[in-house]
Structures are given as structure tokens and as C-alpha cells.
Structure 1
């Protein structure tokens, strides 16, 4: 058996392996980048996209070439116009006008074709990149442990997978292409301006210097605002999601206005940030519009003087200003292209915060296998505490020693907060132990791949979650290996044991879509389908977290009768919040402050253990109240 770190060292290591890229407070939604992201330049951050962009890179480069050719063609038109002004127009030979006309028309057609080619080349590949990144993000989210999802708001993850990736796609298809091409166009255009007149070109370049200074200052300010804005979008998405999921509670308690005020507050914060972004962009645009106009005015004065002195022909002066006009859009576009680039840089940071998150529940390098599953489950000196728990806090699971023989049913009882649900979560590695071991058929669960381990473990939770698909797909979720008649047989048997025959009365029977999270069904119906899902998986170990809490008395009795047939062949660990659930068990384990303080038959513990009698009496009181409510 492989050796694992002792409890103290493991606790330390686990506590340091929190989300190393982002510290997200799930309750407040405050998200801050770590120093690693802050140290990367905009180029360094965007360069991290290359593994995803690599398949589309050749077409994106070709799109840039097509766009650059379009710009070069546009810069050739002023040269033709110069020849036209200095030639036919100055000599009065109208016959020379038509060749210039056809040349300009041809160049315009070539420019249009190049622009169309640029769009055709880059639009489709950019959507493939977005799809690849979204699939990679979803795969990572599925792979990350439950502890990660405990810390992160779902709205933050949703905004990263939708709005951030959409922004990256638009930047790849439009922003990066035009940013590079327009920059090269400006460089080539300035060379052309110097070709016509070095003095006018120098004036134009010097007058443009403030734009670059303002652009550098803009990056530092805008990046911070853009990050805050995108985080606030995630917080706002979380508010919407929580209010939609909790709409029944809000309506029942008349707290709709309170929820609206909270939403309006977050929306107002986002509005303020967006206004701050707009002001920053407006200041940049002021310089982008003002500087070229000033440069045009200065060049016009100097150009007229040069032409009057005979140092510059009228055609050259005309071509100079035509070229400067062509350059006007590339210069002015720098503003929104820079803001788009900095927005994208923030989106990339947010995307990689998730991808860089450390998964503390991983498969072993050299996994073991269980060739003959029997369902022998053992907790050996098992410890667990959450990653962000202060060192002075006690472990939630504090040195549990417990053994379940194959085919045995064990009930876990204890007061609220004693560690029952946490102990169950360690079996399928929803969380990893921070000390000791959990053994399945003599193999540490950390030495099995998660896929194999979870083939042997079936779980049903008190808070039953269903998916927006059919009853059939929900029940057979853990049996992808089945199809046809065999799948139908297993499903019918599981539904029968869970007393879920109500599904046949649904509009389309087992092919009825249950709706988002199964909220179209009652709590008891959802629990029975979740129990049927666990039974259909045919695991060697069945882990049940009070799966009958929402059932009425008669239905519970029928489900228990069906479970007895299943549990006689399966090792079962059941959290019991009702005395009737305790009666299903062969033995009972009493948890107290994260420790197993007694194990034995129900009758023996009742006779010998004061704390057990106290716990059972509290369960009796709760059960009696529930039964009276049902009968009433």
C-alpha cells in the first residue's frame, strides 16, 4: 500500500493549495488577481492564447496579409492621383484622364476583394478557437474538485465562459488583425509621406507623438477599469442566477423588493464603472481626433508655402493629403483597438485564472485497480478540514476509524455539525482526506483513478439535483455502458425500488424532460429519482445522505422495503436523520465532534450510550413532528 503524508503535513500542504491564481470570496464575489497575472505584460498575457490559436494561426496570418495588401493598394491611389494632377489636369489633355480613372477603379476593386478575403479568412477560424477554449474551460470545471466550486460564484464562471470568450473571439477576428495591419499601414504611410516631402512628413510625425504618449498612459488606467468591469459583470450574473433559482423563497417571504435593491446596487456599480471606462476612452479619442486635425492644419500651411516656393508640385501636395487621409482611419482606430485589446487581455487573465487553478484531487501517476470489487470500506485515522480553515480550528473529521464489511449497512447518526455529510463526501473523493486513509477493498481511494473509484461508488444526496433532460437520462446517468432492453430493465427496477412509479403518469413517461434542476417535480419526487439513479449505478458501495427526508410516511415505508433488497447485496453507508432510517442498518456509528465515539447495534447503543439515546430522542422528536405534519 502506498504511503501518504501524515495528517499534520498534509493539512499544511492542502491549505497552501488553494486557488493559486485567484482568491474569490463566494459570498461577496470580490475577485482579485494574483501577482503572477499582474507581472505579465499585455503581450505576455495574450501570448498564452497561442496553444488554442495555433490551428487557426495560418488563416489569421493570411487574413492579416490580405488586410495589409488592401492598405497598400489604398496607399497607391494617391500616387495615381498625383500623376493625374501633375499630368493630364495640368496640361489639359482630357484623354489621359480615362486611364487614371480605370486604374483607380481597378485598385478600388482589388482593395474591396482583399477586405472581403480578410473577413472570409479569419471569421470562421476565430469561432473554432472560441469553441475550443469554451470546451477546454468546461472540461477544466468538470475536473476541478468540489472545493473549487465552493469558493467560486457560478456567475463569475458563467461570465468567463460566455462574455469573456466572445470578446476574445471578436478580438482574434477583428482586433488583432486590424491592430497589426493598421500599425504597419501607419509606418508604411509615414514612409510615403516622407517620399512626397520630408518636411511635411516630419511635421506629421512630430504632431502624432502625443497620441503614443496618451496611448501608453491609457493602457495603465484602462486595464484596471476593464478588469473591475468584467468582475462586476460576473457578480451581476450571480445575482440574476440566485434570484431566479430562489424565486420561490423570495416570493414566499415577500423579499422581491429587497432582491431588486441588491441587484440595482450591483447594476449601479457596474454602470459607474462603464461610465469610467467611457470617460477614459473619450479622453483618448479627444487626442486621436484633435492631433490629426492639428497635423493637417500645420502641414497645409507648410505645404502651401513649399508649393509657392516651387519645392513641391500641386500633384505632390494633393497626393500628400490624400495619403494622410488614408492614414486617418488607421490612426483614429488605434483608440478602440487598444481598448478592445486591453479588454481582451483582462478576459484572457480571467480565463486562465480558472485553467491555472490547481486541482488537489487528481489521479495517481501509477493507479491501482480493483479486479474483484466486494465493497469492503474502511476509514483509517481519517482527518479532514477545509482548505481555508484557520489552523486553530478543529478538523471536521478528526481521526475516524470505521470499518464496513462487504454487504453491511451502516447508519451514521449524530447531532448537526458532527461531520456526517463530510465523512460521506470523502468516499468518492469529492474532497480528499487531509490525514489518514479511506480504503476500498484494501486500496486507498487516492490510489485509484477517479473514474474507476466512482464506478464502484453510488451516491444520493438529501438535496437531490436533477438535470434538464429526460427522466430516463437522469436515472441512467451512472450507466453509460447500457443501452436498449438492458438499460430499460435496469431503469424499471431502480424506479420500482425507489417507488418512483409516478414518472409513468408524466406527459411523455420516462421520456419527459424534468426541467431545470428538476424543479417541476416535488421534493419527494426528486429524491426518489436521485435514489433510483444511485441504485441503477449498481455500485459495490452505496453512500446515502438522508435520501428519504422529503418522503411521506407511507412512501418512505415502501422505499425502505425496496431498499432492504438492494442493501442486502451492497455495502451501504447511510446518514440517518430519522429513526426509521436507522432501522435499515445492521450497525450504527455515532459521530460526535468529528469522531466516531461508538459503533454497535441500535439496541445495544440505546442500552449503553447516553449520548446515543440523546441523539435518537432528538431524531424521534423531529420524526414525530414530520409525521404529525403529514397526517395533518
Structure 2
């Protein structure tokens, strides 16, 4: 309509648009970058707060309260500076768009007045043109606001879109499954080579081979860093080996459904993680469908795990809330609840990763008794250091430098004076004797 009323005046007004468009593009890119930086900085500050509050006992034990407060203040101040910078940029951009709209109106008045003076335009035409120009200015203001929010959304949503577009390396619920009666639990590592994705230059396994017959108990020992816990991660298929094959009952784990596989493997780790809910809910978590677990099943699992005594001593019994990560319970209590959780799951394959290493002698005896019940009739892989944990194992495998260097009955391995297993056990015996004398 502006061109219809006065092409010459409309052309002059539109000369203001190109510089504004260039400014909008520069502003949009900068705002997107600034918004992303703000989101990342806010995430870092939140992560710091969550981590420090979750480990507040450690922070207080080392007297680092004020240090951590200063760290958090510095991160929050950085977020504030970014937000302040964003506010200034937005204010400048909206100021520029407002100025652009006003310039359009002023240009129309000035040029239109000249055209009226030369009888090239009437008052009615100038009034209608001015009205159209006013609506163009309002629209530019609305578009600039929309564009600003759009760029801010692009910057904030970039991380989410990256996560949404990522394809899982392992399928979540695809692959071959077996009926429970078909699963025997025979495990075998065949010439496995592996290094963690973030540390490709540091090889964990180099041609490792290990066979665990179905229904047997295999203990795995070795120096720290030899890759004992990595065996558990590979069996749970949290990672795939770089080369070689891991099989269960002769079938490659890469062919099996990961969801089904993990439902048939029970784990008890050195520091079991409990959720901030009741003891009963933590035990029922091991079941395929926790909502279908009865109180009697929970009670029976706790009884087998030697956990009933201390649970019943709590005022609320099985309804006692354990706190974040089970912080309100002792190490031995958490271990026994974790064992009860694994018992309720009733897995065919059991992985014990240093399950008693952090316990005192009394708690170790109670937990070991519960573990012995848990291991009955299952294929068990024990990651352990203590002699008391592995002496009843059917076989012991010794890891060193990425390979199995010794494998056999623990008595046979102890008879080898040059063997690594005997050296490890002798060092442990010396350490235990020195601790006993100190006491």
C-alpha cells in the first residue's frame, strides 16, 4: 500500500531496512552463542552445588565449607555477568529497532512535507502513507521481539537437540532372548582386547581369555588397575570389547537383548547405591516389576541376607527411609540390603565386585554368610582381594597386565612360590599381621 500511494517515498523508507537486517543477523548469532554459554555455566554451577551438597560430610570433614562457597559464588557471578551482558545486548537491539521505527515515521514526515510543498502529494495521501508506515514500524518491533526470543531458544535448546539426535550405541530392548529355563550361565571371554572410549591409548585387556562354567564360582584377583571391575562392565554390556568375543552359554552378548541380559544378572558392588526411599522399596527394586512384590517376599529376602535384625530395630522397620544414597545406614547395613535386592531378583548369573572389602571383621562375617546363600546354585564371578572371600571359590583367576596369568584352585596357586597369586596373598597376610599387632 505504501508503494501504491507513493513509490518514491516507499523506496526512501525501505532504505532503512537493509542496515537493520544486517544488525538483526549479527545480534541473533551473538545472542544464540551467549544463551548457550549461559546455559552451560548455569549447568556447571548446579552440578557443583549438587555434588558438594551430596557429599557435605566430606566437605565438612576437610573444613572446606568456605572454599566451596567461594567456588559456587564465582560460578554464579559468571552466570550473572553473562545474563547482564545478554540484557545489555537485548536492550541495545530493541533500542535500535525502536529507533528504526521512529526514523521511518520521521522520514515520512520530512519527505512527505517536501512532496506536499511541490504538489506531488496530497494531505490525505500523506496521512494514509503515515498510517501504513506506523504499522510497519509496529510490525518491525514485534518481529524483532519474536526474533530475539527465537534466537535465545535456539541457543538454549542446542544441547537438547544434540541429545535427542544422538543414536544409542547399544540397542535398549532389541536382540535375542532365552527362556529362564534355557539360561545356564556359562561365561567365556575369548581373546578380549579392550580400552575405555575416553582412554583409547591405555589398554585394559590384551588378549584376555577366561572361562567360567555354569553353576561355578570364579574368583578374580589381581593388582589394582588390572581390570577386575572392567569384567563386570563388559558382562553387563555397558561397553563392547574392541576385539574378541564374550559369550553366555555360547552366544555372543552382542546378539542378546541388553534389557533381558541385565535382568538375568545380579550385581553387588563395593559401595552399593541405595535410593532415597524406604528399605522395602530399595529391596523391591531388584524385581522385574517392583509393584507386584509382596511384603512376604521382601521379608524373606531380607532374612536370607541377614538384614532382618537391624531392620526390625528401626522404629519404622521396612518403612525406614535410608536417605540419599543410603547415607543414614552403615556400610554393612547397605551391603546386606543390596544382597537382599539381588536375592529378590533371583538372577542366574551373579557378579560380586569387592562386596566385603570395606567391612570390619564382624560385618564381613555376616555379609559373607549372606553372600554364601546368595551364590548357591548360580554362576558367580567374584572380584575380591581378601583370602576369606575367595577360599571357597571353585577356581581363582589372576589378572595382570591385561591378561589372565594364572588360573586354578587357590591351594594349587598358593603352592607356586613364583606365582603372582601367592605374592598377593603373602602381602595381604603381612598387612593383616601388622594390623593385628598394632591393635
Q: What TM-score, normalized by structure 1, do the two folds share?
A: 0.63
Deviation at 1:318, TM superposition (A): 4.4
1:488 counterpart = 2:298: no
Shift of 1:544: 0.8
2:388 aligned with 1:580, yes or no? yes
Aligned to 1:553: 361
Residue 185 (structure 2) pairs with residue 375 (structure 1): yes
Which residue does the alignment assign to 2:287?
479
Q: Is 1:589 aligned to 2:403, yes or no?
A: no
Among 170, 179, 189, the alignment partner of 1:361 is 170
Return the alpha-carbon distance in structure 2 between the equivalents of residues 364 and 399 of structure 1: 30
The answer as to whether partners of 1:462 and 1:547 remain within 8 angstroms in 2 is yes
5+ residue gaps, structure 2, are none
**CA shift for structure 1 position 309:** 6.4
- Secondary structure of the residue that 1:608 maps to in structure 2? coil
With over 3 angstroms needed to count, the CA separation of the structure-2 counterparts of 1:489 and 1:409, relative to structure 1, is farther
Instruction: Give the superposition deviation at 1:561.
Output: 2.0
| 1: CA distance, partners of 2:63 / 2:139 | 55
| Residue in structure 2 matching 1:247, options 56, 75, 80 | 56
1:417 aligns to what?
Answer: 225
Pairing 1:510–2:306 present = no
* In structure 2, distance between residues paired with 1:282 and 1:325: 22
Change (3 A) 1:414 1:310: same
- Check the 8 A contact 1:531/1:547 in 2, yes or no: no
Counterpart in the other structure of 2:103: 294
Tell whether 2:94 aligns with 1:285: yes
2:134 pairs with 1:330: no
**Per the alignment, in what secondary structure is the counterpart of residue 467 of structure 1?**
coil
* Partner SS, residue 428 of structure 2: helix
Instruction: Give how far 1:537 is off.
Output: 0.9
Q: How far off its partner does 1:289 sit? A: 1.9
Note if 1:542 corresponds to 2:314: no
- Cα pair 2:101 2:138 within 8 Å, conserved: no
Any conservation in 1 of the 2:102–2:137 contact (CA below 8 Å)? no
Q: What is the Cα deviation at residue 285 of structure 1?
A: 2.4
Task: Provide the C-alpha distance between the structure 2 equivalents of 1:308 and 1:438, rounded to a whole number of angstroms.
Answer: 92
Whether the 8 Å CA contact 1:418–1:591 is kept in 2: the answer is yes
Residues in 2 aligned to 1:625 and 1:314: alpha-carbon distance in whole angstroms: 107
Paired residues for 1:255-334 under 5 Å: 255-306=64-115, 314=123, 317-334=126-143
CA distance in 1, matches of 2:387, 2:332: 18
How far is 1:362 from its partner? 3.0
What is the 5 A alignment of 1:124-523? 191=1, 193-306=2-115, 314=123, 317-362=126-171, 367=176, 369=178, 372-391=182-201, 393=202, 395-481=203-289, 487-501=294-308, 502-523=310-331
1:623 and 1:436, CA in 2 relative to 1: closer, same or farther beyond 3 A? farther
- Output one character per residue of 1:204-242: Cα deviation in whole Å (capped at 9) or x when no partner: 322333211211222333333333222222222221222
Alpha-carbon distance, 1:398 to partner: 2.3
Deviations 1:263-322 (A, max 9, x none): 333333333333433343333223212222222222123344555666656555445444
Within a 5 Å distance, the mapping from 1:47-86 to structure 2 comes to: none
Alpha-carbon distance between aligned partners in 1 of 2:155 and 2:206, rounded to the nearest angstrom? 42
Q: Distance in 1 between matches of 2:268 and 2:437?
A: 26
Question: 410, 427, 430: which one pairs with 1:618?
Answer: 427
Q: Equivalents in 2 of 1:326, 1:503: separation in Å?
A: 74
Q: Within 2, Cα distance between the matches of 1:627 and 1:537? A: 38
Measured in 1, the distance between the counterparts of 2:123 and 2:330 equals 85
Contact 2:193 2:208 in 1 (8 A): yes
Give the structure 2 partner of residue 104 of structure 1.
none
Q: Distance in 1 between matches of 2:427 and 2:155?
A: 53
Quick check: which one's helix share is greater?
Answer: 1
Q: Secondary structure at the match of 2:415?
A: helix
Residue segments in structure 1 that go unaligned for 5+ positions in a row: 1-190
Q: Deviations over 1:355-374 (max 9, x none)?
A: 33343333697625355112
TM-score (normalizing by structure 2)? 0.88
Q: Deviations over 1:248-274 (max 9, x none)?
A: 111111122322333333333333333
**CA offsets 1:596-617 (integer angstroms, 9 cap, x no match):** 1112222221221542122123
1:588–1:479 Cα change, 3 Å = same
Deviations 1:522-564 (A, max 9, x none): 3332222222212221111100111123333223212222322
SS at match of 1:426: helix
Q: 1:163-187, CA deviations, whole angstroms, 9 ceiling, x for partnerless residues? A: xxxxxxxxxxxxxxxxxxxxxxxxx
State the number of aligned residues.
436
